[in-house]
Each structure stands twice: as C-alpha cells, then as structure tokens.
Amino acid sequence: MTTYGVGLLGAGWVAAEYIKAFTVHPLTNIVGIYNRTPGKASQLMAAHGVAGKEYRSLDEFFADERIQIVVSCTHPDVRAEHSVRAAQTGRHIVLEKPVGIARAQTAAIREAVAKAGVKSVTSFVLRWNPQFVTVRQLIDEGGLGDLIYGEADYWHPARRAQPGSPYMQKAVVGSAFLSGGCHAVDMLRWLGGEVTEVSAFAAP
C-alpha cells in the first residue's frame, strides 16, 4: 500500500489540526515541519507524538525527497511563493485559505500546478460539513425547488486579535473578507453555482 509523506509549512494552531488528520490517516505520515521561529515546529510535533524533522530553512524542507504532499499553513502573503515552489518540485499541495492576497498570486499557483501536473486542494472545510452536505443534497434532488436567493454570514469563535498581530496587517492577510469571508463566498458558489455578475454599493 502506497503511503505519502507530508511536510507542513508553518506551525501555528491550524497546523495542529492537519497533524491530527494526517497521523490517523492510513495513507499518510508526517515527515516534518518548517517554521520561521526555531523550536516551534519541534514543540508542535512533540505535543502530538510525531517523530518528524524540524527543518532549519525552506531550502532544507524542499530538498527532502520524502515529502510528497506540502501543506501550506503559513501567512497568506507568502503562501503563493511556497505553493509555486512546491508544485515546481513535484509535490501535491494542500492550501489554507486564502491562497493569496492578490489575483496575480492565485494565478501563479494555478499556472504552476497545471504545468507540474500535481494535485492541489484549498481547505474550504465547510464542503465536508454534514449540515452543508445535506443542503447541497437537497438542492441537487430538487427538494428546495429553484434556488433564487442565497445569503451567507460568517462567525468565528476566535479570540480578538491583538494589535500588532500579523492577522491585523493588511499586507499579510489582505482583508477580513479574504481571510474569513472567503468561506461564505465559497459556500454560495458551491450551493448556488458560479458567479456570473457582480454589483456593489457603498455609503458616500
């Protein structure tokens, strides 16, 4: 049975959730983690009983041929750079959202993935939420009739970000809409279909 080695970029709280998933999956194993803060990757792996490697640099990370799947848990402003490099080195990619903070970044990822012939997935986790799976099934079966209107709100139980946090910086995350609102937009697209027209209004 073929198994796949997984390397994580970033050792924040969301990386821990990926570790939980990949350690119980029979086809994957955690090879190691690179994080820009020395020691943090080792602490995270130790907390979850993972005997992986802490890489000292991105070059060392990408040089490890045991890694076949790269999980991008870094800040959005560097995600495109890392994902393009993962594709260029023949790795499949799991991307946190947003995949970038500018259209050029997302286009670069798409081009690199297509050129390399690797697989990629963005972690829009609501698509696997039983509640939304049920709604999608009802729509597909005609149980809700013709869908003519949809609205989405996004709440998150996260604690308030502190001043100075990277997640409060536009240059790092783009905006609150990109960082969290993309989940709501993805749900509207998944349930209602692709966007054909966009309009907006603003206060004077």
Terminal alpha carbon distance of the chain: 62
Distance, in Å, from the CA atom of 39 to the CA atom of 52, rounded to the nearest integer, reads 13
Residue 42, sorted as left (phi over 0), alpha (psi -120 to 50) or beta, turns out to be alpha
Sheet holding 53-55, edge to edge: 53-55, 28-34, 4-9, 69-72, 92-95, 120-122
Whole-structure pTM over 0.85, yes or no? yes
The confidence score (pLDDT) of residue 159 equals 66
pLDDT confidence of residue 23? 96
pLDDT at 4: 98
Domains of the chain: 4-122 (3.40.50.720), 126-192 (no CATH)
At 163, list the tokens: 């001043």
pLDDT at 181: 84
Q: 């963005």: which residue's tokens? A: 122
Q: Residue 10 and residue 37: Cα distance in Å, rounded?
A: 9
Higher pLDDT, 141 or 175: 141
The string of pLDDT tens digits covering residues 113-143 is: 999 999 999 999 999 999 999 999 999 999 9
* 9 within 8 A of 72, measured Cβ to Cβ: yes
Top pLDDT among 76 and 164 is at 76
Q: What is the pLDDT of residues 8-67, one digit of tens each?
A: 999 998 999 999 999 999 999 999 999 999 999 999 999 999 999 999 999 999 999 999
pLDDT tens digit sequence for 50-85: 999 999 999 999 999 999 999 999 988 999 999 999
Least confident residue range of 81-90, 97-106, 122-131, 157-166: 157-166
Res. 155 pLDDT band, cuts 50 70 90: confident
Alpha-carbon distance of 197 to 175, in angstroms, equals 22
- Look at residues 195, 7, 34, 178 and name the one whose alpha carbon lies nearest to residue 97: 178
User: Looking at the predicted structure, is the pLDDT value of residue 167 above 90?
Assistant: no
Q: How far apart are CA 40 and CA 201, in angstroms?
A: 44
pLDDT at 86 over 80: yes
- The predicted model gives 173-187 an average pLDDT of 83
At 161 the pLDDT is: 63
